[in-house]
Structures are given as C-alpha cells and as structure tokens.
Amino acid sequence: MLRLITHSFDVRHMPQGCATWPAIWEAGLTNWPYQGEVDILEGTNDAGPNRMTLHTSDGCTMPVNPGQTGTTLSTDCNAFVNGNAGCSVADTRGNSYGPSLNNNGGGWFAMERTDSFIKVWFWPRNGGPPSDVQNGSGQINTNNWVS
C-alpha cells in the first residue's frame, strides 16, 4: 500500500472573527472536484470545532463507523450533491479551530493519504504530538499515533 504524509504542520495562530474563512487544504490543480479536495483545517467565522472534509466526484463515500475520534457529519463525498458538504468529520475538541485554537497557543495537524484512505490528526499545543511529528523524524509509523 502506498503511504504518503502530505502535510504535517504546526499552527500557532489563525485568523479569526466575523467574515473569516481560514483553511488549510489540498486539491488537484485542474478539473475540480474530480482530482479531489481535502480540507485539513477549515471553518468559518469563529464557529468551531475544526471540520475535516473530502470533496470528490460521484462514487466516493466514507464508512458510517470508520473508527475515528471525530463526529461524522456526512458520508457522501460527491461535491455535486448535498450542497457540496462532502465527507465531513467534526473534531470533538473545541480547541481545534478559531479563537479556542489561538487561546491554546495553536496545535499540530497531520494528514496521511493512501490509495484507500485519508486520515487527519490534530494535537493541541498543550497535548503535544508524537515525537516523530514534533521533531520532524524521517521515519514515522502513523499506526502508533493517537489524536
């Protein structure tokens, strides 16, 4: 199986307030949404918590009970239905987005993408990530990670 960590980053402060829409995401460069879009960190205004979402074309869904710590909001990733809600998961911790994230001094986010799944992790600043994320290790094992 192909394993690729596409992002691992330390967020110390993010824009907040009315009419803000801060996000960290990746998407195919052409022909959206057929190459997919992954929202790793996203929200609007000051409304937390973080929402992690996958937007694709028809035929991509997320299991109802995928074994995650977040709360599933929608399972159909098709950007052309359900108002482009995508496969969406809300973090269960309020300090994963906006003013609460800033008040906590930020946190760390990581994403793993393979040919069969996408996983996103968040560790608040006061909780700390695994040492391989915090220290930038060249060798990691995401199976050992707990969010």
Q: Per-residue pLDDT tens for 11-62?
A: 888 899 999 998 999 998 889 999 999 999 998 898 889 999 999 999 999 9
**Cβ-proximal residues to 96 (8 Å cutoff; 6+ apart), any chain:** 48, 49, 50, 107, 122, 124
Establish if 147 belongs to a structural domain.
Answer: no
Closest CA to 73 of 22, 98, 64, 118: 64
Q: Dump pLDDT digits (tens) for 63-102.
A: 877 888 899 999 999 999 999 999 999 999 999 999 999 9
The reply to whether 146 falls in a domain is: no
Which tokens in the block code for residue 141?
């094992």
pTM recorded for the entire structure: 0.87
Catalytic residues: 37, 42
Domain count, the chain: 1
Q: Is residue 71 part of a domain?
A: yes
DSSP string, 123-141: EETTT---HHHHTT-S---
Residue 145: inside a domain: no
Q: Report the C-alpha gap between 33 and 15 in whole angstroms.
A: 26
Which residues form the domain of 128? 3-135
